Chain A
Amino acid sequence: MFLCDIESIKGHLDEQFRQVEDLQDEASPNFVEEVVVVFFKDSGRLISNLEQALEKYPRDFNRWDAYMQQLKGSCSSIGASRMKNECMSFRDNCGQRSVEGCMGSLQKLKREHAILRQKLESYFQLLRQVGPAGAATRPAM
């Protein structure tokens, strides 16, 4: 059972996450967790940059959009679908030049970011508890 199939996390993660999970094998035994760690570190940085940019460059929608595009790339690569949706909505707001819309999207994005982090942390913790046996039950593809 892939993580993205689990009810509690469905919607937050999509098929892409399954692909990422697929890539974990003996050659890269902790791949998924490594990727997730990198993701949260990078996305945290991007979100923080974006927040600063919102303040420092008011109404600079192009710049904001560029920042968000980076974040969207990360989200797509890992399959963080809800976050990705918020990224897209933020970019739409940039297109419409709506500062309130952008702010709103950003807040939602941060919320989703926090939720996802929490869920994944729990998940990995669970995996560690289950141990190698539990990991082995996942199809190695």
Chain B
Amino acid sequence: MLLDAMMMEARKGLMERERERDQFPVGMRVLAVDDDPVCLKVLEVLLRRCQYHVTTTNQAATALRLLRENKDMFDLVISDVHMPDMDGFKLLELVGLEMDLPVIMLSVNGETKSVLKGITHGACDYLLKPVRIEELRNVWQHVVRRKFSNREPNNNLDLCKEISKPPSADSYHRLGQATCDSHRSCDQSNRAGKKRKEPHSEEEDDGEDNDDAAGSKKPRVVWSVELHRKFVAAVNQLGIDKAVPKRILELMNVEKLTRENVASHLQKYRLYLRRLSAVASQQASIAAAFGGRDPFLHMGAFEGLHSYHQPFAPSAALPSFNPHGLLSSAGAAAFGLQDLASPKANQCSSSNGIASHCAGDTEKFHIVSLQDNQQADLSQGLTASSLGQPQLQQKWIHQETNDLCSVISGGALANTMSGTLQRVTSSSLPPEDLLECTPHIKVGAHPSIGIPTGSSGLLERSVGVSANLRDSCISQQCALPISEGFSVNKLPLHIPFDGTGVTKLDASFVAGEQEMDQKGIFLERMSVSVCPSESLIVASNAKCRASSSGSIILPLPRDTERHSKYLQFGAASNSRHRMDGMRQDQRLNSGGFSYDGGAIVPEQTDMYDLGVPKLQGGFNSSSCNFDGLLNSIIKVVKTSVMLKISLFMTVIFPLKSLFSKPMFLEF
């Protein structure tokens, strides 16, 4: 063995790195990041013992720099979770998004929530310290697995051949760029056969030309902010459920970008959104600062939320929405009204939680998702998960409209409600808490929330919720006198995505009167989006600014008899989620999910023209996660920023709509 080791050393000295790489996994290039010098030293030697090529650094910033400078320099990253200069999860996200490299987390802490956090942030593996060499010997599988799942099925065989073919300067390069390839063949590639797992054992005498499989010698695609923004814009335009790589590629119109690149990026994007919505769900449940007095509870509409009942919801300060099985989070989201004085709310307390709250004297409806203490806890997690972008505070702008209020309260609030957005801000929520709820989300698909990945917090918060009240129950229960002439103006919300304010989400209220396809049913949709703390502009002006990726559409029942309330949370609502033909003339483009940019929704000039906001931007519309939607709606409202949330409360899910149709959010 000593002799072997010596020979290996000699070989290394003689051959270039390419030579090693051709004997993958020998020579696999690993970047190890850990602020603990003891651990780093041991890890380095352990990895060397596995015949990997190791680079170590004790600073996450250095690691990022190394990775960014030369995209093809490493195959795998191993990072500690607790580091002083940057949270390991944040580094994990950045690496996964920017470089598409497998990342393995290391930690002393093996708590479930921590591991879960790693998973949801995209870690390939999560190892506990002290790391044993046996665990490290197999880490190369993560590199290979990623490449396989990213390639077309017909390419997989070629990939195997590449791995096993005789050394060439390009072989490794091509292997590296295989990660850019399409992800769509994932299933197929998995079926491709077990022997693919052992690429190095593939026969080496295959003389087939692998150039076709590898394609041209493209460098690894770096998803810059600009590029990602285009990507998100394309996805939004297509609609998250219809966003296929080919079309996205066409829309993006970027030279030298392949469908495979787009496909693999899309895959990651979806994962990201999923995580956000999960976080949002958690938030919604937590945000249940709703008192149990909301009559909304009794609304039959809640029943539609049965399926969304989240087990974890009860843990949050959810109001007594549970009777209806309404997701506590959903309910909370709907009624995340806090202690805001709303004496007048009782006017409309009949059916509409929103109504009841709208009528508040102060007209301040805060959707409180997190109390300060909760915020504090949560912020840790979120901060951790934020990607190097300014931590976007989760702020939801809840837009109130005079019209809505008046409608809800029968006119009493007409003057009180203004087109101000209620800005619920909460410090970053710890994704881990949110993530914990993830397993419980049974909604179905994953919410894809077009939230810029600028910060995990942002993402989580930016779940747009478009709530369309369309529940006749509501109307029945609602004693709100809805004036005929009620018209909700459209409030465009500009939502800058993050501190940099790059992305803007346009949220607008749907003019129920205009939009309602149903007769006499007034639907208002309010889009609320989370806005980053800095960019959130909460003002009692017509402009609603919110940085969020979602829009909350709160339909305002006009016809109490037969309007159905449908709370749609459409963080990524696209046309598919349009409620029965509601006009969607608003598009909310969620910003990029990893960069500050993202789709920038044109600002609506007419604030009070309600239109159906259409959230786009990477939302999967396959299924609706009301929890997430509600959660996203629920935000902690900073006392300094008081927004009036009237429509927000109308989170009522029709029984059928939720289940039969894909909702805005795909979870």
A residues whose Cβ falls under 8 Å from a Cβ of B: 16, 19-20, 22-23, 25-28, 31, 34-35, 38-39, 42-43, 66, 69-70, 72-74, 76-79, 140-141
Give bound CA distance, A22 to B133, whole Å.
Answer: 10
- Contact of B82 with A42 in the complex, beta carbons under 8 Å: no
- Contact of A69 with B39 in the complex, beta carbons under 8 Å: no
- Contact of B129 with A77 in the complex, beta carbons under 8 Å: yes
- Given the interface pairs A27-B9, A28-B45, the reply to whether A74 lies near B38 with Cβ below 8 Å is yes
- Given the interface pairs A35-B42, A69-B109, A70-B36, the reply to whether A19 lies near B130 with Cβ below 8 Å is yes
- Contact of A73 with B108 in the complex, beta carbons under 8 Å: yes
Give bound CA distance, A27 to B2, whole Å.
Answer: 9
Tell me which residues across on chain B come within 8 A of A72, comparing CB atoms: 108
Interface residues on B, range: 20 to 34
Give bound CA distance, A76 to B36, whole Å.
Answer: 11
* Shortest beta-carbon distance from B114 to chain A in Å: 11
Give bound CA distance, A26 to B129, whole Å.
Answer: 25
Any A CB within 8 A of the CB of B15:
no
Chain B 1-42, CB-CB to A under 8 Å as 1, else 0, gives 110011001000000000000000000000000011111011
* Shortest beta-carbon distance from A97 to chain B in Å: 15
- Contact of A77 with B5 in the complex, beta carbons under 8 Å: no
Give bound CA distance, A42 to B39, whole Å.
Answer: 11
Q: Is the interface of A mostly helix, strand, loop or mixed?
A: helix
Give bound CA distance, A74 to B2, whole Å.
Answer: 29
Any A CB within 8 A of the CB of B48:
yes
* Shortest beta-carbon distance from B451 to chain A in Å: 28
Tell me which residues across on chain B come within 8 A of A22, comparing CB atoms: 133
- Residue in chain B with minimal CB distance to A16: B130
Most buried by A among B5, B6, B129: B129
- Given the interface pairs A26-B6, A27-B9, A31-B45, the reply to whether A66 lies near B38 with Cβ below 8 Å is no
* Shortest beta-carbon distance from B447 to chain A in Å: 31
* Contact among B37, B46, B107, B109 for A42, CB-based, below 8 A: B37
* Shortest beta-carbon distance from A116 to chain B in Å: 13
* Shortest beta-carbon distance from B517 to chain A in Å: 53
- Contact of A26 with B2 in the complex, beta carbons under 8 Å: yes
* Shortest beta-carbon distance from B144 to chain A in Å: 25
Any A CB within 8 A of the CB of B49:
yes
Closest 4 CB pairs of A and B: A77-B39, A73-B108, A76-B130, A74-B38
* Contact among B36, B46, B49 for A73, CB-based, below 8 A: B36
- Residue in chain B with minimal CB distance to A73: B108
* Shortest beta-carbon distance from B297 to chain A in Å: 37
Any A CB within 8 A of the CB of B246:
no
